[in-house]
Amino acid sequence: MILTSARYRRVQTVGLVAVAIWCFCVRRVSAFTPPHRGDCRFFLDTADTSEWDALLPLGLFHGVTTNPTLLERAGQPCTVDNVRRLAGAALSRTEEFMCQTWGSTAEEMYDHGMALSKADRERIVIKVPVTARGAEAATLLADAGVRICMTACYDSKQALIAASLGVEYLAPYLGRMTDNGKDGLQECIRMQSIVDGLGSDTRILVASLRDADTLADLAAEGLDTYTFSPAVARELFAEPLTDAAAAEFEEAAARGSNWE
């Protein structure tokens, strides 16, 4: 059968739409966001892939965060090729992957950031320190369409930098601020107030969290984005009363199954 040009275009359009829908569905199979999660985003803060295997199936995490220090702790090379490999593994199971650029100049940081994010600019977020050189690199990267997280934030006034640059995330180190004599909790709460007051959409991605109770305190104050270690992730589930109740349910179910 010979198709007219108009009919051919309609068939071609339908085919392209079907392919687009299929690709979207395939992509979503491995990275599903619960519909009632709201605005909160939890990230697993480790480059240890064995911890990814253990904890990502729990369904809590929006993504994974890494940096050169975490790579070193996990015995992972800090190279573009290896970080790309890790990104592919993480994005097969989560929505986002954050990795940190490096370099002695803004241009080097830009080049590494472009290379790291090349595989998936929609889901790879590049972390850049909140320094003057970092701000210059972040501006170049953002102009090229790269998603940015300003990191190593130690003071609430640095929220002004992130908001003015218009980056997506700012990562304050709560625990380390407290270690250095600051009130890390209040600094993070003030950062949230600053970006809200400026009408900025920058998310305060609280890092260096030492315990699950601090995470709950932040949530009660309206902060909704965190990255935390595998130890803190496990602490969220550490409640003996819940464990006892779950065991009691299982025992009752076992007894009831013998009635038939």
Among 184, 161, 173, 233, which residue's Cα sits nearest to residue 206? 173
**Is 127 labeled as catalytic in the residue annotation?**
yes
In angstroms, the CA 36 to CA 48 distance is 29
Which residue type, as a one-letter code, is found at position 237?
A: F
Among 118, 141, 121, 137, which residue's Cα sits nearest to residue 129? 137
3-state secondary structure of 46: coil
CA distances from 67 to 47, 98, 131 (A): 8, 8, 16
CB atoms within 10 A of CB 240: 7
Cα-based torsion angle of the residue sequence 162, 168, 172, 174 in order, rounded to the nearest 10 degrees: 150
Would you please indicate which residues are annotated as catalytic (active-site) residues?
Answer: 127
